[in-house]
Structure 1
Amino acid sequence: MPQFPAGQTLLIDADDTLWENNVYFERAIAAFISYLNHHEYSPAQVRQALNAVERETILAHGYGLPSFTRSLVTCFERLSPEPMDADKRQRVVGFANSIAEQEIELLPQVDETLRDLASRHHLILMTKGDHAEQADKVRRSGLAKYFSAVEIVSEKDPPTYRAVIARHELTQHASWMIGNSPKSDINPALAAGLHAVFLFHKDTWILEHATLSIPPEGQHLIELDAFPRLSDIF
């Protein structure tokens, strides 16, 4: 029997919570590092440099595939001992473009679990990134029918969560954020007064890693290892 009664509001993340996402970026990054084939930096050092470039790019240009493409190009320009010509640029951009060609791959039993949860609770999809890019993923996923609303935001921080709470007139003691990112899904949601469910995903983006916050008094933080287990709770 579920632990919490019907009528909860479940804010649910998309990338790496409902469908695979970061694994495709990891493959592109591995191909990029192999192509760069740096003779002084180890693959791990190249990855650290790329992480730093991505942090810079996100601050200036936000999330999404265009931002990632820019990061690969910038990193190559900084690290390559030879200038980037048109052929090299096309090859680097191609690593990023390969991600856009991926079909939406739902995580196991996501469709069935959402159908079950939607029969008892109020579901809102909440994802961050490029609006057009994320909206297209939602459309292609076929999952929009389970959600009463879709929130695509540029960042997931406490003020953004508070705005969503206000916009949908959510009752905080019966509202939850569910996702795989401690940095974006869990810690800021707890800070905004929501309960949270952390869903472990082995390929969570390294820039989304963080230590899980201790929930404030009166708030819940539940950790699960698979999306279908949500039906055991809700």
Structure 2
Amino acid sequence: MSGLSTIGFDADDTLWQNETFFRLTEQRFTELLSEHGAHEVISAKLLEAERRNLRFYGFGVKGFTLSMIETAVEVTNGQVSASVIGEILGFGRQMLQNPVETLPGARETLDQLAGRYRILLITKGDLFDQERKLAQSGLGDYFSAVEIVSDKTPDTYRRIFSRHGDGPERAMMVGNSLKSDIVPAIRAGSWGVYVPHELTWVLEHEEAPEAEPRFRRIASLGALPGLLAQMT
């Protein structure tokens, strides 16, 4: 750990709230279509649509909105009204205007580490929306570089940590998604620090790599400086 020079941070549900807005919107969506099925049934069909559409629309609000429309067409057997589609589009626009709520300890942690390490933001999602959230968060000045990517793979981390740091072996990735933030970063040769969030999208679930020597878990982001102090 004495050679650690670069720390990458995930954005959504690591530095600020995100999944909460998706869950609330999903609830509104199932209520809108309640005459066509129970909440659990419509939610399951929405998840199937999201899974199918990831390779076409990617991650983020716009893909979620298109998946809601597709699900509405499916559960109504093609009879969904223009007014309902209009409401769904309104749900999506509202999500793109939601205020940014940073998570406890986010600013304080970045403030402690920014002078000691090269700090990066590495996030998936829609370019415009992620740029908006970063600007509204007030955290932008902490980052040496911001990478908004279509997906997070070992190659993604190798490329980013080589471009903006001293290679993956001297880098660490911090985030709430085992599937996107932790496992691929470790496979790239980096450290992975898992910070669980109470709400994590089911498509981001994966088994924790407990046996990996470069895996760590902390209860909250505020514990990261202490963990780094113990490891160096």
Same fold (TM over 0.5): yes
Aligned residues of 1:129 and 1:154 also touching (Cα < 8 A): yes
What letter matches 1:207 in structure 2?
A: L
What does residue range 25-64 of structure 1 map to in structure 2 within 5 Å? 25-39=22-36, 41-64=37-60
Aligned residues of 1:190 and 1:215 also touching (Cα < 8 A): no
State the partner residue of 2:108.
Answer: 112
* Deviation per residue, 1:141-183 (Å, 9 max, x gap): 1101111111111110112112112222424333101000011
Counting aligned pairs with the same residue, the percent is: 35
TM-score, length basis structure 1: 0.91
**Matched residues in 2 for 1:136 and 1:101: separation?**
9
Go from structure 1 to structure 2 and tell me whether the alpha carbon gap of 1:6 and 1:160 turns closer, same or farther (over 3 Å shift): closer
State the partner residue of 1:145.
Answer: 141
**Matched residues in 2 for 1:229 and 1:166: separation?**
27
TM-score, length basis structure 2: 0.92
Aligned residues of 1:53 and 1:75 also touching (Cα < 8 A): yes
2:19 is aligned with 1:22: yes
**Matched residues in 2 for 1:19 and 1:198: separation?**
15
Superposition RMSD on alpha carbons, in Å?
1.7
What letter matches 2:225 in structure 1?
A: S
2:218 is aligned with 1:221: no
**Matched residues in 2 for 1:211 and 1:38: separation?**
37
- Secondary structure in 2 aligned to 1:90? helix
**Matched residues in 1 for 2:75 and 2:136: separation?**
37
What letter matches 2:198 in structure 1?
A: K
**Matched residues in 1 for 2:3 and 2:211: separation?**
22
**Matched residues in 2 for 1:37 and 1:17: separation?**
33
Go from structure 1 to structure 2 and tell me whether the alpha carbon gap of 1:188 and 1:104 turns closer, same or farther (over 3 Å shift): same
Aligned residues of 1:7 and 1:122 also touching (Cα < 8 A): no
**Matched residues in 2 for 1:194 and 1:136: separation?**
29
In structure 2, which of residues 162, 166, 169 is the aligned counterpart of residue 170 of structure 1? 166
* Deviation per residue, 1:175-231 (Å, 9 max, x gap): 101000011001111111111000000111121111123454xx4111111110111
Unaligned 5+ residue runs, structure 1? none
What letter matches 1:229 in structure 2?
A: A
What letter matches 1:12 in structure 2?
A: F
State the partner residue of 1:93.
Answer: 89
- Secondary structure in 2 aligned to 1:189? helix
Unaligned 5+ residue runs, structure 2? none
Aligned residues of 1:72 and 1:93 also touching (Cα < 8 A): no
- Secondary structure in 1 aligned to 2:199? coil
- Number of residues of Structure 1 aligned to a counterpart in Structure 2: 228
